[in-house]
Amino acid sequence: MMTRDRTHPNVPQVDQSDRLVPRNLRQSGPTPVQMLISTRVRKSPFWHLSIEAGCWRATVYNRMYHPRGFVRPEDGGAMAEYDALVNRVTLWDVAVERQIRVRGADAEAFVNRVVTRDVIRIAPMRGRYVIVCNAQGGIVNDPVLLRLAEDEFWFSASDSDLMLWLQGVNVGLGYDVAIDELDVAPLQIQGPLSEDFMTDLFGQAIHDLPYYGLIDTEIAGCSVLVSQTGFSGEKGYEIFVRDASLNAEAVWYAVRGHGARYGLRVIAPAHHRRIAAGILSWGQDMDAETSPFQLNLAYQVPREKAADYIGRAALERARAEIEAGRYPFKLKMVGLAMGGAPITDYAPDFWLISAPGKGRVGYVTSPWWSPELGHNIALGFVPYELTAPGTRLKVELPEAYTETSGQPVEAEVVDVPFRPSAHPSERERARAKARDDVR
């Protein structure tokens, strides 16, 4: 039987023995196929409006079609969209963030049981970024949790079946709650001009809205919920359109019409900017076999939370191991400053990381070019002993991005975020405080 002399695409050299499914998966390169549009995958109420605005490619997220490109490569591609985001104001169709409502007499107790953070501390009409873990401490979902009332929460879900998870969990727990998906679809308004733009749309209340704050309002006669949140690191807001199957067009055209004076541009969700801000993407940077302690998300695992929650025992065991000087995972996420030609589009593979004398040791999850820094940046996983800032590594980029044909590019472990955010996360604020304390 004839065999092919080539490297196996699963790359077993990277140690992922603490996982059942390896995260670097198959290194198979670009997949130039046409996506089938069928009834099996749902279209958002904004889908046809995104197509009208120039969407030319899409992916699937939460089993919905998700726009991922408006400016064509010959006109500047994703980096032209980046320019609009960091200099003006942009509109994103993010209806794929399905809104899962938990409502009822036991809503607070149930939500407190399924998220690691202390929900009691979230006041009505406020939100928080949270994680939902399984019994092994793996991250099932990392939604933004919105609390509309004492007895009502919305999970703005990332890319996994959160509603089914919550409903399944409650079969055993039996809390007095209703768990369902709403006919609510969000739009994001992101960029340095977003506050002025949103104030024109909704009035002076926008100026007083704190980060993760919520207000009920309306636009074009349609009821919406507005939050100061987003996926970019820039100043930004989300508009949650109620009864979206009926109201999507009215809200979309009102926003776009008003945005003309601000140079508003419809773009895809800004993965180039969220990487620079150190914002993570479920399915890309984490999954149900990834612990928050591998992702610098220890702040999501409070020591003092009184109520028990799913995954607590596993997470506390992991923390105890780390504090005893025994890192319990094979790999940990780091930031990387990389060489190579500018990476200006999505990576089709988890590109491989090597270390001197060790061979292939890890993989990149989220790479992009940073115009401000003048080099490529990335999030990736490497063994714990290689996570110190300043550690020198190499990354095996595709031929189009290499400086010398067939040779990996130089990389260095650096602090995350790569550049300051308009709305720094708790992790960013803690790191900034630590640096100030040292000074």
Q: How far apart, in Å, are the Cα atoms of 368 and each of 57, 248, 348, 383?
A: 19, 32, 12, 22
CA-nearest of 416, 86, 90 to 275 is 416
H-only helix segments in 159-292: 162-173, 194-202, 244-259, 271-277
Q: Is 238 annotated as a binding residue?
A: yes
Which run of H or E residues covers position 127? strand 126-129
Name the DSSP class of 41.
Answer: S
Across 365-389, b (16+ Cβ under 10 Å) vs e yields: bbbbbbeeeebbbbbbbbbbebbee
Instruction: Say how far apart CA 87 and CA 7 lie, in whole Å.
Output: 44
Instruction: Say how far apart CA 251 and CA 337 lie, in whole Å.
Output: 41
Q: How far apart, in Å, are the Cα atoms of 66 and each of 144, 268, 402?
A: 19, 9, 30
- Dihedral of CA atoms 417, 288, 147, 218 in degrees, nearest 10, equals 80
The terminus-to-terminus CA distance of the chain in angstroms comes to 67
Instruction: Say how far apart CA 345 and CA 73 lie, in whole Å.
Output: 9
Name the DSSP class of 32.
Answer: -
State how beta strands 152-156 and 144-149 pair. antiparallel
CA-nearest of 363, 327, 397 to 23 is 363
Q: Quick one: the chain helix, strand, coil %, rounded to 5?
A: 25, 25, 45
Tokens encoding 102 = 């938990």
Phi and psi, residue 219, nearest 5°: -145, 135
Rg (CA), the chain: 22
Residues of the binding site for substrate: 238
Residues of the binding site: 238
